[in-house]
């Protein structure tokens, strides 16, 4: 026999075997449920009727913080002396604002709304 006919015969045998095994795959996928993820009613009911789904550590009210630092930040915000953020990246986009030429205002430094000391109702 010629070598090419042996390869062709082996290829045909492999294709026939894979077709037979493909038919078995649909048999093993059959279940007694409508969908493949059916049968989770018990787990669904447990989660639905759970009293408090939050983890226990979420009830911990003892949060570590730095009181003086927070107080100074609130005071700076109240008096409108907020420290502008400095970028931590290496890009020049985080750098200082470009200098304005004569007659222009150097950037938009005005607040968006009224400050805390100003009344918003007129």
More confident residue, 120 or 85: 85
What pLDDT score does 78 carry?
93
Rounded CA gap, 21 and 6, in Å? 22
Q: Which of 11-15, 21-25, 57-61, 65-69 has the lowest mean pLDDT?
A: 21-25
Question: Is residue 25 assigned to a domain?
Answer: yes
Question: Is residue 23 assigned to a domain?
Answer: yes
Q: Which of 16-20, 23-27, 105-109 has the lowest mean pLDDT?
A: 105-109
Rounded CA gap, 94 and 81, in Å? 20
Q: What domain range is 12 assigned to?
A: 1-35
The answer to whether 14 and 8 have CB atoms below 8 angstroms apart is: no
Mean pLDDT in residue range 6-11? 88
Let me know the angle formed at the C-alpha of 40 by 34 and 43, rounded to the nearest 5 degrees: 165
Question: Is residue 89 assigned to a domain?
Answer: no
Number of domains in the chain: 1
Question: Is residue 3 assigned to a domain?
Answer: yes
Question: Is residue 19 assigned to a domain?
Answer: yes
């Amino acid at each position: 026999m010629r070598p090419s006919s042996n390869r062709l015969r082996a290829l045909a045998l492999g294709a026939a075997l894979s077709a037979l095994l493909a038919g078995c795959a649909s048999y093993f996928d059959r279940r007694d449920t409508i969908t493949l993820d059916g049968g989770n009613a018990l787990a669904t009911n447990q989660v639905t009727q759970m009293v408090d789904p939050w983890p226990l550590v979420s009830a911990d009210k003892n949060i570590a913080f730095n009181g003086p630092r927070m107080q100074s930040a609130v005071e700076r915000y109240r008096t409108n002396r907020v420290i502008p953020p400095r970028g931590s990246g290496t890009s020049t986009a985080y750098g200082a604002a470009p200098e304005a030429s004569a007659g222009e205002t150097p950037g938009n430094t005005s607040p968006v709304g009224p400050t805390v000391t100003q009344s918003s109702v007129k």
